[in-house]
Structure formats: structure tokens, C-alpha cells
A and B are shown apart, each in its own frame.
Chain A
Amino acid sequence: MSLRDGHNGAVGARIGESLRGKSGRTFWRSLDELAGTEDFRRFLEAEFPSIAPDAGSVNRRALLKIMGASLAMAGLAGCGGETDEEALPYVVAPENVIPGNPKWYATSVTFGGYAQPVLGKTHTGRPVKLEGNPDHPAAKGATDAFTQAALIGLYDPDRTKAPLHLGRATTWSTFDAAIREQAEKLDGTKGQGLRLLTGAVSSPTLQRQIGDLLRRWPNARWHAFEPAQETTRRDASRQVFGEPLDWHLRLDKAAVIVALDDDLLGPGPRQVHHGRMWSERRQAFHNGKAACTLLVAEPTPSLTGTMATERLVVPHARIAILLAAFAQALGLQSGVQAPLDEAAKAFAEHALERCRRNPGAALISVGAQHAAELQALALLVNERLGALGNTLGFTDPVIAEPPDGSASLEALVSDMSRGQVGTLLILDCNPAYTAPVDLDFADVIERVPLRLHAGLHHDETAALCHWHLPLQHDLEAWTDARAVDGTVGIIQPLVRPFYDVRSKHVLLENIAGRFDATDRDLVQATWRTAWGQDFDARWRDTLYRGFIPDSVLPEKAPTFNTNPITLPQPPKADGLTVLFRPDPTIWDGRFANNAWLQELPKPIGKIVWGNAVFIAPALAGKLEVENGNEVRVSQDGAAVTGPVWIVPGQEPDTIVLTLGYGRRISGEDIGGGLLHELGYDATPLRRAAGPWALAGAEIAVTGNHQDIASTQYHSAMDGYDFVRTVSAPDEQAAEKKKQPSFYPNRKWDSPSWGMSVDVDLCIGCNACVVACMAENNIPVVGKELVAMGREMHWLRIDRYHEGDPADPAMYFQPVPCMHCEQAPCEMGCPVNATTHSPDGLNQQIYNRCIGTRTCSSFCPYKVRHFNWFDYTADDPPETQAARNPDVTVRQRGVMEKCTYCVQRIREAQISAQKDGRILVDGDVRTACQQACPTQAISFGDVIDPESAVSRRKASPRDYTLLEEVNTRPRTTYLARITESVPGKAKS
């Protein structure tokens, strides 16, 4: 069952090199021809027996092992000794495929409709790792956790492998026949009663197709529903500018950012872009080149709040009042008059004072989950601060605006309830689970005579539809999409589908009764019209880059219509306020079957494999509950029951529920029945009006207890200095003195590897953690074992809070292996399984390890992880195919840990030696470093004083974790910079 399997990832090399090394032509052509040729399909089938529906008879593991052997990919069989093996050469070698050498393709994966640019690494046709695209203007080479995990989504064994009709497996030809006559009917009625429901759509091709469809069938209608979207901002700009616009926050230009309950750096499609911009500003601040203050007022700790210079704990309802106060101070009327308490007043004053000091470099943003009126007022405030055009820009919507705008789904539901919908095609979204409860989507959909659902999984919505049509994963599809900044990315397949699935473009054609076009043709058609004659050249160039250069939407300078804004009167704050948030790792549930993301600790709370009812320490005290005690959150009749998790720094009267869990999925569907065992479903409390907050809720203790698996049970720093803080960039974090030692003082010659992690830049987004899992074949162990303390993440992000639990200082600290020069673990190992390499690596040799676990006992940082069981042997072939062939798959009973991605180091050295270069700084980038959106991780040769890492280590903020143990770590940290905030006691 996929969720319990160890999912293993893959390695990447130096991207720039590998890309520039080849011409764009060979790039896409090779793949094209591969994809086209019939023998490649057969070759694939030999590799992935699972693609053939009747492959049950074949011994998949054996075949896969053979493939591994024939393609000289070690690592599939773990620490086993020498066994007899067969070798299967190609019959006709595909062009440009060199067994043993990876190939890179520039493409994207989509998330919430937006393109997330990636470079995909493939080994003989198997995608094994996704990395950020360094040339992309928005992401600049970084990725988020979702993007990193998209790889294992491709290999998800629970994906629908063939069309279903009324729940029974069928063939595409039957579907084609059925849909053909349906199309003829619709031709008659000009598409009367045909409705198309999609998720967020930024794809030019899809927009073109929808346009064509509606032109052909004027009576048809298109609806879009994306659970977490910035519709309120669009409505606000419609209100203020008269046209729906996308807002682009230019965090790199902002000296002062005032985020009112807006998780700018938090999980979501914009995380990488925002994180990157903020970190550029922050690094300028480190170098004394710019100011960078982040003031956050929020009801519950967010990643942004954690990084805040000053943080105000404020209830959801008072955000409006806070904003009104700003407006008033800037001479704007908002119709809201309410007194601010002391803390809030102080916060507002600091904020305003700072904003005034930085005209044109200040930015105020209100969380998109707040009402359009607040957004509108925020626009006016920003206008007064001179933010427009500087720190705040506007373009036409990147996500296409459906006819009914933000009320699109409501419109569809009302039409369905009135029986006006004859045919409903749901394209890649799951409203039956994600739609607010009072829309009764699941009930009204029953009134639609013909219901088709196209998606990757047989989910709640699929279960309600007559037809379930499996879609291609982005990594095996031809399509296109826009990134958050509007840049168009052409999405090319890294591998052709190995299940019997179709592209959404093709499917849309089928609806219109056309069956000849391939997905590639459809995408090319879009751009052929756009580009005219120089299509071929630009197409090639685009595939080579992965995106269309300078394709961002044109900046708009909209004009204000000056009708005053009146905010809705905030509700009387009686009872508790429930806030709803998308889950930080599985979002609205779309990644529920992604084991990497399920086992990924939520940035706040560090719980895995489920969600919890997050409450403040004060409320917990009042209820006399501890973590895991079950509570019942209710409001007029509707209720949600779940275990409590206490979050220091949360507003006392606020309860936070997260989406995506408590799935209503039967055992035969995705997750094999595991999904509905995990967590609770927050939907019953969500209303279409105000889906993100619910006032006047009650909470009651049920007396039951539910197990919550967490990777970190204690986060109070208890006066230790694990995370050190300084009050200015040039302040000394630790006095530099040579520590005494009994051992010979060893001379290290270059290269000698080391790492520096800047805790002032780490936003705890987890991208590095997933990148590490993918790179190093790290197994997933499941909820029970994590609860036992057996998680395998080589790189973990510790979260600490310090001071008053009601309003503490909060920190993130990534902890990989420290690669100590005087490592206790090495001294402890009786069999020389862990020793020190001449280039300063703490080597872990799996095939020598006998599992005494002394190394882990002696490790002061507890960064070593043990294979308590055989986690990898029973992986389905799909997940085995996702493994990195350059990293050993560990056997039962051996210790493993961060190796500084030694396979990348050696690969870089070998290729450097082959072309007679010397290794230069930046040739080796670890997976975590590569993925990090904020460049918090720096890696390189610590002997070379000019290397980036050496320069970081030279910073006065440089300090060593647990210096007193005197293990001389190679991984060091840069201290967090906290400006002393007046009126706020720091412990």
C-alpha cells in the first residue's frame, strides 16, 4: 500500500553544467523520438510491467531488478552481496540515452493552477529527481516541498490506471463511443446543459480550448473552483479599479512589510517566489545594504510570524480594526471605530512609524482569507504609503477568471439544484470533498444526468460520477501553465505515461467529439498561432529553457475610483473563533496519497500523518487538556472532533483546523483505506460565506485520546542556546577561540567540505527535507513508527519557542549531520563502518555497518537514523523506479545519516577530472541547498577562503551548535537577528 511503502527519490548533478552541456535540440528531440517510437514503449513496459494492465502475472521485482542490472544502476538491492544477474541490452538503442548517465529536461509541475518550474532528472527514461530551474525569473532555481514531492506523485501506485464506468474498469474506446454520441446531442442544443468544472486554470492551451468549446457551444458554461485562492483580492481590485487584477507583492523592494494575518512566506503556490524575494532583501540587510523589517499581526503562528521582527498576537476579527487604525492614521475613513488595546496600539505605532520612514518601500498586506473590503482598504492604505508601482504591482489575472468570478461554484451548484445541468465534466478538482458544506455539492450533483470526472485518483468526486477518466501526471504530459509571476512554462513529459491515461487537453477535445489530436499537437497549436513562422525555433528554445522568456503579463497602472470603503462591522467576539487553513503538507487533500508529504512534519507543531485541533496554551489550561486529548468543536449543530495540539503563540480564543484529512474514501480507492483513518474532516464547519473563519464556536472535551505522531515533542528552548540571537548583523554570536583537544591537530587540504546554515533566513518550509528524501532514497516508515520515534529524515527542521508561551519568540533550525572533525560516533563504531574521509566527510558505510547503534548513542545531535525493519524490500516497482541509482538502498539493521550528498561530490569530482577542470565553488550543490527558496543553506570547500561557505563562516554571526561538546562540527550556523522590540520582554 503506497502510503506505507518507503518512497525513494533520486539524485541530481550540477544543473547549469548539465543543461548548457547539451543543445536544446538534442534535448527535446531525443525525448520526442523516444516517446514516439514503439520500441521505447516496449522498453518501458519491460521496465514498468505495471503499465500493462495484465502485468499481475509478471514478477515485477525481478524484472525491475533486471532492468537495474542492465542499465548499470546500483542501489536497488541494498546491501545484498553478489548475486547472479542477467543483463538485458536494448534491441535498438534509443538516441542520446547513455545508461548510467542522467538526462535533464526543463519543465514544470502545476500546483493550484500555477506552474512550478523544475529541471527533471531522468535515468534511462525514469524520472528520479526534480530540481528548481535556476534560470526561471520567479523561482530562480528554488522549489517548495510540494514540487519536490511531485515526483513520487508520478509513481503513485494508487493512481487510476484505466477509465472507470459506474465504478467498473472499462476501456477508452467505450468512452470514446459514448462521448461521441453525447457530443452530437450537444451540437444539436448548442451545448445546452453542458457544464465544465475545472480547478484554477492558468494554461493558455486550456484557456484556448475552453474558449473554442464555448464558442462552438454558446449554451455551455465553464466554472472553476480552487479551494485556496486569492479571489478576495481580485474582487477588491474590481471594487477599487473596476477590473479584476492580480497583486504582485515585491518583497525584495520592501524595507517594511506589515503582514496582517497574511502568511507571505507560508506554504502555497507563491511560497518560493515570495521566499526568494524576501531572502534577497534580507541578505542585503545582512550586508548592511538595506533595511528589512517584517511586522506580523496574526491569530496563530505562521512561517511569516516566526520570521517576524515584531509579532502581534491578535484575534482574527480584530485584523479589520487594526487595518482601520492604519487607515485612519493615514486619513482614510473605513466606518470602523474600535479601540485598540495597548499591545496593538504599540504595534500599529511602530509599524506606521517605520512605514513613514521608508516612503515607497513599505508594504501592507492582509491575508487573502479576509474579506474583499479589507483588501480594498489595504489597497488604499498602500496607495497612501506609496507602495503602488514600487512594492506592489498589478497585472491581469494569471489564473483565468471564470464567468461567475469568485462565485463560480455557487452558480454551478444553484444551476444543478435547479436541474439546469445535463452534462457535467469535472476536470482535475474534487469539490465533493473540498467544497464548503452548506453548498451540499454531493447531494445536488446527483441531479445531473451525466457526470464525468477526470483526475489522477478515484476520489470523493469520482465516486459520485458515472465516468472516472484517469489523467496524466504533469511529468508525463504535454501542457503549459503560467508561474505565479505570469511567466509561461511549457510542460514537456519526462516519461511517457505508463498507465492507460489521457491528457486533459485531449479529454477536452474528446468532449467536443474530436479524437485525433495528441496532447503535444494541442499545446503546439496554441503557440503556433501565437508565434507564427518562427514557431520552430522558439518552441525548441522554450523546451530547452522550460519557460518562455519575458512572458510575464504586462504591468498595469490602474486608476482609483475614489468611492470610500466601508468595512463590514466585525462580529461581536463571543465564544471562540475557528480558523481554517489548508494543510501545510497535503494542502486541501490533493497530496493525501503522497507518502513523502504525509510523513513531512508540519512546520508548526511538527506532527505527521494527520491533523489536529490547534489551540493556545491558555485555552488548553482552561480546558485542562494535553496534546492528543480529543475535543469537539461545534457551532449550531455542526461539529468536528479531533485531538488537541497546543501551539504556543496562538491567540487564546482561536482554534485552528486544517483541511485535507478525514477523507471519505473507501478502501478500494486511493490510500487503500488508510486515508479515512487519518485525522478529521474540517468541512462540516465550513460555510460558503466566510469559508476561512467561523465565529461563535464552542469547544468541549470528549474525554477520549487520539494518538498524534510528531517528530518533535519538546520545542521550549529551556534557556539553552541552540538557536543564538544577535541584535545586529555585525554582532558577534560566539567568541572565536581555538578549543583545546587531546587529539592531534589535523591539517586539511582543499577541498574539504562544510556547510553553513543561516537560521535568520530559514523559513522552515521543508523543501530541503523532501529534496533530501528524494535525493537519498530515504524510506517512509508510516505513522506508527514515527510515533515510536523512528522517522528517517536525514535532515530535520527543529522548531523552538522561547519566552512566554502566550507570545514567544520562535525559531526554525535545520539540523543535518554535523560532520564533526572529532566525531564521537566514529570513535564508537567497533567495525570501522563510520570513519572520516580525507575531504572532511563523516562517512557512513552501510555495507560495513552491523547495527550496534553505538554511533547514534554517542551522537550529541541525534542525526543518525536506523533501519529498524526492512523498509525497502516490499516497495512496489513504481516506487522502486523512483529511486536514485547513485545511492545505496539501505538494508535492515544498518545506520544511515546525512552524507553531504557525497554521491554529488564524487560525481562532480569525476566529471571535473574527466574534462580536466579543477572543481570550483558551486560545482557541488547538496539537494537541500539546491531546493532552499531562501538560500539559507550554503555548502562548499571550507579551506578555500573565497568559497561562499567560507565567507559565511567568516561572518560574526557564525556559531557552532553544542560548541561545549567540542566535536568540531563542519556544519555551523549563522545566528538569528532579532531587533530588540520596545515593550516586549525577551527571555
Chain B
Amino acid sequence: MREPTAKNPLFGLMAEFDDGERLMEAARSARDAGFRRMDAYTPFPIEGLAELVGFRDNRLPWIFLAGGIGGAAIGFFMQAGISLAYPLDVGGRPTVAVPAFMLITFELLVLGAVSAGIFGMLLLNHLPRLHHPVFGAPNFALASSNKFFLVILGNDQKFDPKKTRAFLERLKPVAVGEIARAEEPE
């Protein structure tokens, strides 16, 4: 999902809730109202919320798989290749001792999968991102503690500062506020 850039007048409108279910309902009705570009901020993962705000991405498991396969391949062929490059007789064992090589192959499989997956996750999430418009929003500090936020982004087709605000207020949030647009790095 593409977030509003500095060109958009507003980053978006933010509605604050103090309960997870409320947020879910709000997200659902926003979705029904035809909003497509929105985001929600919660202190902990909430089942199904992401899909409501338009999360469609399932690349991550594949990244894990790729990492795993890559790691395993590197692991095995590294061992085989090196043993063949300077074939030394080690205790009469075969030069390419497949059973013996499996252990390191497995280790590198795990290493490849996990590091690929985790760094992939951070990348897809555009992290690290120290500065973000929402950080400027009032009460957002509580987003990690006990507040739940729904944001309708400024680059949504249906976005209109007044109408959208009205819409949000209809969802009985604790408060609704504007999020200033992202500032240019000076």
C-alpha cells in the first residue's frame, strides 16, 4: 500500500478508539463505505484487522522458502565443491560424504530461511522508519499501549477532508484528528 507523499495536502485523518472491537467495526464500516487506502494502529496484533484495512500481501512465506532453499544449496555445494577442489583422503571417508554433509546443509538451510524471512519482513514493512507522520498525531504515543487508531489516508480516491471527518465521527471514536502531511527531509 502506497502512503501519501508530501504532495498530498494531508497525510490523513485519524480516529482514536480505546477498544479493539470498536476499531474492527470502524475499519469494517470504512471498508463498506468504500475507503480503500487506510491504516490501523494497535498495541498488539488483532486477528483479521489487516485484511479489513486492505492487506493483501503473502510474499513473506515465499521469501522464507527461497532463503531456505538458497541456504541449503549453498551449504551442500560449498562442502562438496571444497572437498573436490582439494580431494584429501580423510580417514578413508568418501570425498563427497553426503550423510556427513547433511548437518551443515541443514544448519545453513535454517540460517538462510530465518535471516531472509526476518530481514524480508522488515524490508516489506519499510523498517527502519524513524520519522513518520503518524508519530506527530496527538495521543499516538498510546498506540503502543492502550489506544487503537484508524487512519484514512489522504491519497484515497474518496478522501475529502470534511466528508471523511464527518464519516469518521459517525463511528463514535474518542477523538478525530488530522495528521499533517509528511515533511520533506531538510
Tell me, rounded to whole Å, the shortest Cβ–Cβ distance linking B97 to chain A.
Answer: 9
User: Which residues of A sit under 8 angstroms from B94, Cβ to Cβ?
Assistant: 743-744
B92 with A824: CB separation less than 8 A: no
Per-position binary interface string of chain B over residues 39-74, scored 1 when its CB falls under 8 Å from any chain A CB and 0 otherwise: 000000000000000000000000000000000000
Per-position binary interface string of chain B over residues 81-95, scored 1 when its CB falls under 8 Å from any chain A CB and 0 otherwise: 000000011111110
Tell me, rounded to whole Å, the shortest Cβ–Cβ distance linking A843 to chain B.
Answer: 9
User: Which residues of B sit under 8 angstroms from A968, Cβ to Cβ?
Assistant: 92
Q: How far is the CA of A508 from the CA of B143 in the complex (A)?
A: 108
Closest residue of B by beta carbon distance from A832: B88
Q: How far is the CA of A823 from the CA of B90 in the complex (A)?
A: 8
User: Which residues of A sit under 8 angstroms from B88, Cβ to Cβ?
Assistant: 832, 835-836
B89 with A822: CB separation less than 8 A: no
Tell me, rounded to whole Å, the shortest Cβ–Cβ distance linking B174 to chain A.
Answer: 62
B89 with A746: CB separation less than 8 A: yes
B92 with A835: CB separation less than 8 A: no
User: Which residues of A sit under 8 angstroms from B91, Cβ to Cβ?
Assistant: 743, 820, 822-827, 836
Closest residue of A by beta carbon distance from B82: A832
A835 with B89: CB separation less than 8 A: yes
Residue among B89, B92, B93 with the most chain A CB within 10 A? B92
User: Which residues of B sit under 8 angstroms from A822, Cβ to Cβ?
Assistant: 91-93
B90 with A744: CB separation less than 8 A: no
User: Which residues of A sit under 8 angstroms from B93, Cβ to Cβ?
Assistant: 743, 822, 827
Q: How many residues of A contact B (CB 8 A)?
A: 19
User: Which residues of B sit under 8 angstroms from A744, Cβ to Cβ?
Assistant: 92, 94
Total A-B residue pairs with C-beta atoms closer than 8 Å? Answer: 38
Q: How far is the CA of A968 from the CA of B91 in the complex (A)?
A: 10
Closest residue of A by beta carbon distance from B92: A822
User: Which residues of B sit under 8 angstroms from A824, Cβ to Cβ?
Assistant: 91
Q: How far is the CA of A838 from the CA of B93 in the complex (A)?
A: 14
User: Which residues of A sit under 8 angstroms from B90, Cβ to Cβ?
Assistant: 826-827, 829, 832, 835-836
Residue among A741, A820, A826, A838 with the most chain B CB within 10 A? A826
Tell me, rounded to whole Å, the shortest Cβ–Cβ distance linking A447 to chain B.
Answer: 72
The answer to whether A500 has its CB under 8 Å from any CB of chain B is no
The answer to whether A798 has its CB under 8 Å from any CB of chain B is no
User: Which residues of B sit under 8 angstroms from A835, Cβ to Cβ?
Assistant: 88-90
Residue among B88, B91, B94 with the most chain A CB within 10 A? B91
Per-position binary interface string of chain A over residues 825-857, scored 1 when its CB falls under 8 Å from any chain B CB and 0 otherwise: 111010010011110000000000000000000
Tell me, rounded to whole Å, the shortest Cβ–Cβ distance linking B185 to chain A.
Answer: 50
The answer to whether A541 has its CB under 8 Å from any CB of chain B is no
The answer to whether A821 has its CB under 8 Å from any CB of chain B is yes
User: Which residues of B sit under 8 angstroms from A837, Cβ to Cβ?
Assistant: 89
Tell me, rounded to whole Å, the shortest Cβ–Cβ distance linking B173 to chain A.
Answer: 63
Q: How far is the CA of A196 from the CA of B91 in the complex (A)?
A: 64
Closest residue of B by beta carbon distance from A837: B89
User: Which residues of B sit under 8 angstroms from A821, Cβ to Cβ?
Assistant: 92
Per-position binary interface string of chain A over residues 724-758, scored 1 when its CB falls under 8 Å from any chain B CB and 0 otherwise: 00000000000000000101101000000000000
Closest residue of A by beta carbon distance from B93: A743
Tell me, rounded to whole Å, the shortest Cβ–Cβ distance linking A985 to chain B.
Answer: 42
User: Which residues of B sit under 8 angstroms from A838, Cβ to Cβ?
Assistant: 89
Q: How far is the CA of A77 from the CA of B143 in the complex (A)?
A: 68
Q: How far is the CA of A837 from the CA of B131 in the complex (A)?
A: 63
Closest residue of B by beta carbon distance from A838: B89
Q: How far is the CA of A868 from the CA of B47 in the complex (A)?
A: 61
Tell me, rounded to whole Å, the shortest Cβ–Cβ distance linking A743 to chain B.
Answer: 5
Q: How far is the CA of A838 from the CA of B89 in the complex (A)?
A: 8
Per-position binary interface string of chain A over residues 121-134, scored 1 when its CB falls under 8 Å from any chain B CB and 0 otherwise: 00000000000000
Within 8 A of B (CB), among A217-261: none
Tell me, rounded to whole Å, the shortest Cβ–Cβ distance linking B93 to chain A.
Answer: 6
User: Which residues of B sit under 8 angstroms from A832, Cβ to Cβ?
Assistant: 88, 90
Closest residue of A by beta carbon distance from B89: A836
Closest residue of B by beta carbon distance from A741: B92
Closest residue of A by beta carbon distance from B95: A744
Q: How far is the CA of A827 from the CA of B88 in the complex (A)?
A: 11
Q: How far is the CA of A700 from the CA of B159 in the complex (A)?
A: 109
User: Which residues of A sit under 8 angstroms from B92, Cβ to Cβ?
Assistant: 741, 743-744, 746, 821-823, 836, 968
Tell me, rounded to whole Å, the shortest Cβ–Cβ distance linking B86 to chain A.
Answer: 8
Residue among B88, B89, B93, B94 with the most chain A CB within 10 A? B89
List 20 other contacts, CB 8 Å, given A743-B93, A832-B88, A836-B92: A741-B92, A743-B91, A743-B92, A743-B94, A744-B94, A821-B92, A822-B91, A822-B92, A823-B91, A824-B91, A826-B89, A826-B91, A827-B93, A829-B90, A832-B90, A835-B88, A835-B89, A836-B89, A836-B90, A838-B89
Jot down 7 A-B pairs with beta carbons below 8 A, ordered by A. A741-B92, A746-B89, A746-B92, A823-B92, A825-B91, A826-B91, A836-B90
The 6 closest A-B pairs by CB, nearest first: A836-B89, A826-B91, A822-B92, A827-B91, A835-B88, A823-B91
Taking Cβ atoms with an 8 Å cutoff, the residues of B that contact A are: 88-94
